[in-house]
Amino acid sequence: MGVDTPQVGIFALGTASHAWLELDLVAGVDPVAAVARVAAMREPRTTIGGVNLVAGFRPELWAHVAPDAAPAGVHGFEAPIDGPTGIHMPATQHDVVLWLTGAAYDVVFDLSRAAVVALAGVARLAHEMVGWPYHRDLDLTGFIDGTENPTIIEATDAAVIPSGTPGAGGSVLLLQQWEHDAIAWERLPIAEQESIIGRRKADSTEIDPSPPGSHVASTDQDRFGTILRRNIPYGTLSQHGTVFVGFCREQGPLETMLRSMAGLSGTPADRLTDMTHAVTGSYYVIPAADRLARVSATTDGEGARLTT
Ligand code: HEM
């Protein structure tokens, strides 16, 4: 593994099953020991039917454990965001995040369970989301999600902290659970849905100029900077929505997009929030793979190999 190598699972495409696990440290546990336990987890090294594992930490926790590898000024989702028209985005920060992805939920389930068992005594599962792709690349609004994502070549530049900077090879993650009111959404005429998203439903063509208050206008990357989104639908018929997964080389673009969506940037609030609302919100630092591995090497060194 080279220096500043990102955790490769961030970029693993084509995975049909996702689990997002957020955990809190057990009271009184040594933070270094807890991070070392996470760092020591190893996914099974099979090339078929394997599962990608991405691990991250509350920014302040990572800065405490690895001050040399902490990106400057990155902080947790400490306070809710409240916009002038009543949009509310809660702050539900946890200490550890694990993202497991694989070909099917059976292996993801087994590995999720093994991860929680491996962390018993240092961290406790606080929140989980299980995601599944909806008609290849749609979100539960029925629109194509990810059109304006950087290409896989450009994604590293957008999502990974560059070499020579603190935290190099790492990434800042914004993770939010957004619940949809799918019935109200589907009642809207398609033209109305399109003016809310700012794109055509059939093929994701951009409406030019972007309608004020559209989602695309509120998150315009020409204005805020480029991020890598790995959103995934989640849930059941009665409760479902979008796991918003945004990676960036810095925290600023993610924060300013959220403030803009809430109507705190001098432009109208995002109309998508009439039909969806955030129920969680956390920021995590996803350390470079090699730096994370060094935390386990310098402490107990003994990895809990995740087997099923
Ligand atoms: C319910 C939650 C959300 C849904 C269903 C959703 C869906 C979409 C859709 C359908 C598009 C248009 C196609 C595309 O370019 O991907 C889009 C664009 C985008 N979204 Fe979201 N999104 C959600 C939340 C968020 C949040 C919380 C952020 C930022 C913090 C965000 C950032 C972006 C960005 C940067 C773009 C591209 C804008 C551009 O054209 O430059 N989205 N989203």
pLDDT over 70, % of the chain:
93
| Side-chain half-sphere CA neighbours of 44 within 13 A | 17
pLDDT of residue 272: 98
178 alpha carbon – ligand 1 mean position (Å): 12
Query: Is the pLDDT score of 1 beyond 70?
Result: no
234 alpha carbon – ligand 1 mean position (Å): 16
Query: Is the pLDDT score of 170 beyond 80?
Result: yes
Query: Is the pLDDT score of 46 beyond 70?
Result: no
Residue 91 lies in a domain: yes
| Side-chain half-sphere CA neighbours of 169 within 13 A | 17
Our count of domains for the chain comes to 1
d(CA 293, CA 289): 6
Residue 304 lies in a domain: no
From the list 47, 57, 46, 61, the residue with the least C-alpha distance to 7 is: 57
Residue 305 lies in a domain: no
Residue 303 lies in a domain: no
Render pLDDT for 233-291 as a digit per residue (tens, 0 to 9): 999 999 999 999 999 999 999 999 999 999 999 999 999 999 999 999 999 999 999 99
CB of residue 197 inside a 6 A radius of ligand 1: yes
| Side-chain half-sphere CA neighbours of 138 within 13 A | 10
pLDDT of residue 308: 47
Q: What are phi and psi of 223, to 5 degrees?
A: -90, -40
The CATH number of residue 113's host domain is: 3.30.70.3420
The dihedral built from the CA positions of residue 117, 105, 179 and 173, taken in this order, carries a sign that is: positive
Residue 252 lies in a domain: yes
Read off the tokens for 194. 């399109």
Residue 135 lies in a domain: yes
The parent domain of residue 194 ranges over 8-298
If you compute the radius of gyration of the chain from its CA atoms, what whole number of angstroms results?
19
| Side-chain half-sphere CA neighbours of 110 within 13 A | 15
- Across-strand partners of 168? none
Strands 17-25 and 96-102: antiparallel
CB of residue 253 inside a 6 A radius of ligand 1: no
Question: Ligand 1 atom closest to Cα of 146?
Answer: 16
Render pLDDT for 62-107 as a digit per residue (tens, 0 to 9): 999 999 999 999 999 999 999 999 999 999 999 999 999 998 999 9
Residue 41: pLDDT band (50, 70, 90) is confident
d(CA 249, CA 76): 15
Residue 2 lies in a domain: no
Residue 275 lies in a domain: yes
* Cα separations in angstroms, 46 against 52, 247, 250, 308: 10, 26, 33, 13
Read off the tokens for 226. 């480029």
Q: How far is CA 227 from the centre of its chain?
A: 11
CB 54 within 8 A of CB 285: no
**Pocket residue to mutate for ligand 1, from 147, 215, 223, most atoms within 8 A of Cβ:** 215
The residue-averaged pLDDT of 186-212 equals: 97
CB 64 within 8 A of CB 71: no
Q: How many residues are there in the chain?
A: 308
244 alpha carbon – ligand 1 mean position (Å): 9
